[in-house]
Amino acid sequence: MTITHHPGDELLLAYAHGASSEPVALLVATHLSVCELCRRNVRDMEAMGGAMLSSVEPVAMSEHALRAVLSRLEEKAPESNTPSPAHSDVPVALQPYIGDEFAKARWIAVAPGLAHIPLIARDGVRARLIRAKPGAGVSVHTHRGEEWTMVLTGSYHDATGRYLPGDVQTTTPDVFHRPIANEGPICINLAVTDAPLIFKGLLPAVIGRIFGF
Amino acid sequence: MERPLADATRLNALVLMVGRTRDAGAFKELFDHFGPRVKGYLMRLGCSPAIAEDLAQEAMLTVWRKAALFDSEKASASTWIFTIARNLRIDAVRKERRPELDANDPTFQIEPERPADERVDWVQAEGRLHQALAHLPREQALIIELSFLGDKPHSAIAEELGLPLGTVKSRIRLAMARLRSALGEGA
């Protein structure tokens, strides 16, 4: 997989420092599973976190803290009940949200050739899957905030270029774009927005309101 | 600041000792060093003293339980414990699912074994990172600090500082380029 579009340092840094909200963390984790370069980057950012932890002003633990912890050393660790990930085309980070088969997930039709699945919304930041048949796409829109789109299968293009599996396109509020799925395998994207999209024209705006785009 | 390099070597050795021989003395020393730092870190992130105390104890218990999994080729002891504290806080305070990469992911691309001369000595690297962090231009250091000790996306940091989002992003990029070169990975 040749990935040419990566999430910016600011997204990776927030993830490494535990500051990203769940929708953004989902996008970053999904990208990391296929991108060694960004994994290295996050590892370096965690090393910064480690260096910064050692310079944090210490705050004394309670008087009995050590004894309390020592008395629990023999306690059995809580069993982790995470099922082992299924072999499938769905990245592991996504499986808790939609199961392990794209085809069996609960797609909601939005327009001809276009379907979506809302995944999570936290404080106005939303993650959704968008599935587009070749030639289908989302109407011309821009964003109040930013939008990050990661290609999971297939590919799409807009005026700024072509996006292939693993790529993350970052779109800022000044860009109007109209992503269209390319010929070939069906295009499934993970899209995260930190504010509602703004559509050009009346009809798409209505669709946007109904479907929460 | 303390002597980070000497400390880091010692701290790594202590975690390895706990992992190999369940050495309670080594654990106590780790507890004395990291407990108050983890508590301080969590309080800076807005946890109440009581919650920070509980989570710091929980973090140290996790250190005991998982010490055998500590891999000094992948991280220093501080980094490893930082990630433990970070994850516990997200689970406990934000009550969110924490999407993580998972090496068992069938779509995961296996990282090729790095040639010996490209391996990072994380203890050395920590010393260099301390230096590099201390020498970051003030405006970059501020944003890195807000990212580490805040719980906010960069857009909120930009708003708080009254800066355009693009400026915050470019300061993060510049800071990361310096820190990466301190790690010997080029800009």
The pLDDT value recorded for residue B98 is 75
The pLDDT value recorded for residue B43 is 95
* Distance, CA of A18 to CA of A50 (rounded, Å): 13
User: Tokens 């002003």 identify what position?
Assistant: A57
Domain, as residue range, for A167 = 102-211
Residue A3 in domain: no
The pLDDT value recorded for residue A74 is 84
Interface of A with B in 2-21 (CB under 8 A): 8-11, 13-14, 17-21
Tell me if residue B84 falls in helix, strand or coil: helix
Among A31, A28, A34, A4, CA closest to A16: A28
Q: How far is C-alpha A153 from the chain's CA centre?
A: 14
Q: Closest partner residue to B53 among A32, A62, A194, by Cβ?
A: A62
* Distance, CA of A11 to CA of B21 (rounded, Å): 39
Residue B51 in domain: yes
* CATH number, position A19: 1.10.10.1320
| pLDDT of B22 above 80 | yes
Pair (B89, B141) in one structural domain: no
Secondary structure (DSSP) of chain A: --------HHHHHHHHTT-S-HHHHHHHHHHHTT-HHHHHHHHHHHHHHHHHHHHSPP-PPPTTHHHHHHTTTTSPPPPP-PPPPPSSSS-GGGHHHH-S-TTTS--EEEETTEEEEEEEEETTEEEEEEEE-TT-BPPSEEESS-EEEEEEES-EEETTEEE-TT-EEEE-TT--B--EEPSSSPEEEEEEESS-EEESSHHHHHHHHHHT-
The pLDDT value recorded for residue B106 is 44
Could you tell me which residue, A8 or B3, shows the higher pLDDT? Answer: A8
Residue B124 in domain: no
Q: What is the pLDDT of residues B30-55, one digit of tens each?
A: 999 999 999 999 999 999 999 999 99
Test the A interface: residue of B48, B101, B128, B145 with most A CBs within 10 Å: B101
At A182, the amino acid letter reads N
Residue B116 distance to chain A (closest CA, Å): 16
Please state, rounded to an integer, the average pLDDT across all residues of chain A. Answer: 87
| pLDDT of A198 above 70 | no
Prediction pTM value? 0.88
Q: How far is C-alpha A69 from the chain's CA centre?
A: 37
- Say how many domains are in chain A: 2
Q: Which long-range contacts (CB under 8 A, 24 or more apart) does B144-149 make?
A: B144/A13, B144/A48, B144/B172, B144/B175, B145/A52, B147/A13, B147/A14, B147/A17, B147/A19, B147/B172, B148/A17, B148/A48, B148/A49, B148/A52, B149/B41, B149/B44, B149/B45
The pLDDT value recorded for residue B110 is 47
* Distance, CA of B160 to CA of A3 (rounded, Å): 33
Q: What is the pLDDT of residues A87-144, one digit of tens each?
A: 678 998 999 999 999 999 999 998 889 999 999 998 888 999 999 999 988 877 777 7
Residue A59 distance to chain B (closest CA, Å): 5
Contact A50 B79 (CB under 8 A): yes
Pair (A207, A111) in one structural domain: yes
Q: What is the pLDDT of residues B111-154, one digit of tens each?
A: 555 555 567 888 888 889 989 999 999 999 999 998 888 777 78
Pair (A200, A125) in one structural domain: yes
Pair (A40, A120) in one structural domain: no
Q: Is the dihedral of CA B155, A127, B108, B87 positive or negative?
A: positive
The residue-averaged pLDDT of B11-27 equals 95
Contact A53 B82 (CB under 8 A): yes
B187 pLDDT band (50/70/90 cuts)?
A: very low
- Say how many domains are in chain B: 2
| pLDDT of A183 above 90 | yes
* Inter-residue contact A122 to B96 (CB < 8 Å): yes
* Inter-residue contact B176 to A13 (CB < 8 Å): yes
Pair (A108, A157) in one structural domain: yes
Pair (B11, B70) in one structural domain: yes
DSSP B113: P
Domain, as residue range, for B11 = 4-94
* Inter-residue contact A172 to A146 (CB < 8 Å): yes
Residues of A in contact with B129 (CB under 8 A): 47-48, 51
The pLDDT value recorded for residue A192 is 95
ipTM tops the 0.95 cut: no
| pLDDT of A170 above 80 | yes
Q: What is the pLDDT of residues B68-114, one digit of tens each?
A: 999 988 899 999 999 999 999 998 887 777 777 655 444 444 455 55
User: Tokens 């693993």 identify what position?
Assistant: A166
Residue B25 in domain: yes
The pLDDT value recorded for residue A81 is 60
Residues of B in contact with A39 (CB under 8 A): 101, 111
